[in-house]
Amino acid sequence: MKKELAYDRMHENLYRVADSELTHHYDSSAYLVIGDAPALVECGSGKAHNKLLGILASLGARPEDIAVVLGTHCHYDHIAGIERLGGALSR
């Protein structure tokens, strides 16, 4: 069963914002680290870009607020969404 615009709080400032249930079945887990310079670890496949944006917004983070996107490796389900985020990230 898919969750709607939800996230999983993993720790004080760490949230799972994407995975096969939260966003799209092609997405790996992605995490938002909230702080002075928010970081996104992985960004998913990009198939559910608008859903990811909604989850980020529910946590008070816009793509242009994200200081860095860290990819653990170059598999599609981990980093293909960077292209969709790219415009907002390149400031």
Q: pLDDT per residue over 2-12, tens digit each?
A: 555 589 999 99
CATH of the domain at 51: 3.60.15.10
In-domain check, residue 23: yes
Helices (H) and strands (E) in the chain, counts: 3, 5
Q: pLDDT per residue over 80-91, tens digit each?
A: 999 888 755 554
Six token digits for residue 10: 């993993």
In-domain check, residue 78: yes
In-domain check, residue 70: yes
In-domain check, residue 3: no
Residue 44: closest CA among 62, 13, 23 = 23
Q: What is the span of the domain harbouring residue 43?
A: 8-89
Specify the number of domains making up the chain. Answer: 1
In-domain check, residue 1: no
In-domain check, residue 34: yes
In what side-by-side order are the strands of the sheet with 8-11?
A: 8-11, 14-18, 30-33, 39-41, 68-70
The secondary element (H helix, E strand) that includes residue 11 is strand 8-11
Q: pLDDT per residue over 35-73, tens digit each?
A: 999 999 999 999 999 999 999 999 999 988 999 999 999
Helix, strand, coil proportions of the chain in percent (round to 5)? Answer: 25, 20, 50
In-domain check, residue 75: yes
Query: What gap in Å lies between CA 61 and CA 69, rounded to an integer?
Result: 13
Which residue type occupies 66?
I
